[in-house]
């Protein structure tokens, strides 16, 4: 019960890494508000996981939906202790072929929405002199690969935003950390991971001998969200089977 009495917002909480965090955080005693665009997916997750779960469907790129998420969470739980910024968009193309709209879309979901939600929650945390952010970045925020420049940049920016929160609000009792997953089997990576030859080649770069599953990332998020990591802030933690070790 490492999160007993804690109130948590998890974006993208109805699938993949977000769902794994929802399950684990509820198992550890947290009250959890999950958000995403698909109401049916949120309700299905809440039913299957059990526990104290609030579902708030919405689009994180819309300020009104963010306002509603924060308001409904505070109304239901009375406070916000932890925010897991998990929602993300992955797409790619060569830089010279990337359309402005595609670039802006990735930045809006992966960075601007995180800024807007954080901005709304911070005053509440400052007032309580306590708070904790866990951001789902990527190993592509630490290194770059060809063909996905917008994604690389958005996840690198998220790591710097994470550090900025840690530096600026540490004196107010607020921590902020980022998790940088390697390749994880989720709905977002399903098509990519169906390419057996490609996966055989990529697996050579994972010393531990396998790709990740959502619970691998959720376990790291739980550590950073809990008081066990009370002396940890501003880090970008690779959870990648050793990919970035070479």
- Cα Rg for the chain, rounded, in angstroms? 17
222, burial (CB in 10 Å: exposed 0-12, middle 13-18, buried 19+):
buried
Active site residue 169: no
Question: Which one of 151, 169, 206, 223 is the catalytic residue?
Answer: 151
Q: What is the DSSP string of 165-226?
A: HHHHHGGGTEEEEEEEE-SB-SGGGHHHHT-HHHHHHHGGG-TTSS-B-HHHHHHHHHHHHS
- Whether 25 contacts 46, CB under 8 Å: no
DSSP assignment letter at 55:
E
Interstrand relation of 31-36 and 7-11 (parallel, antiparallel or unpaired): parallel
Instruction: Locate all alpha helices (DSSP H) within the chain, ordered by sequence.
Output: 16-27, 39-49, 63-77, 100-107, 113-128, 149-169, 190-193, 196-202, 214-225
CB 111 within 8 A of CB 61: no
Up-side HSE of residue 244: CA atoms within 13 Å toward CB?
17
Rounded CA separation 207/241 (Å): 6
How large is the greatest C-alpha to C-alpha distance in the chain, in angstroms?
53
Active site residues: 151
């Amino acid at each position: 019960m490492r999160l007993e009495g804690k109130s948590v917002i998890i974006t993208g909480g109805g699938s993949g890494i977000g769902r794994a965090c929802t399950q684990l955080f509820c198992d550890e005693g947290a009250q959890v508000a999950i958000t995403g665009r698909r109401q049916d997916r949120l309700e299905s997750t809440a039913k299957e996981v059990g526990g104290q779960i609030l579902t708030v469907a919405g689009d994180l790129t819309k300020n009104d939906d963010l306002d509603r998420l924060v308001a409904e969470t505070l109304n239901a739980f009375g406070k916000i202790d932890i925010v897991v910024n998990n929602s993300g968009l992955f797409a790619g193309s060569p830089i010279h072929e990337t359309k402005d709209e595609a670039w802006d879309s990735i930045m809006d979901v992966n960075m601007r929405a995180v800024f807007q939600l954080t901005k709304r929650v911070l005053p509440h945390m400052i007032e309580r002199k306590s708070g904790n952010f866990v951001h789902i970045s990527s190993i592509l925020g630490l290194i770059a690969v060809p063909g996905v420049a917008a994604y690389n940049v958005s996840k690198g920016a998220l790591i710097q935003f994470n550090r900025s929160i840690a530096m600026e609000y540490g004196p107010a009792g607020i921590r902020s950390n980022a998790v940088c997953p390697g390749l994880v089997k989720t709905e977002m990576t399903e098509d990519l991971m169906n390419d057996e030859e490609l996966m055989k080649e990529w697996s050579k770069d994972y010393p531990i001998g396998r790709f990740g599953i959502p619970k691998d990332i959720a376990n790291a998020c739980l550590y950073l969200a809990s008081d066990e990591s009370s002396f940890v802030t501003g880090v970008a933690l690779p959870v990648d089977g050793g990919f970035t070790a070479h």
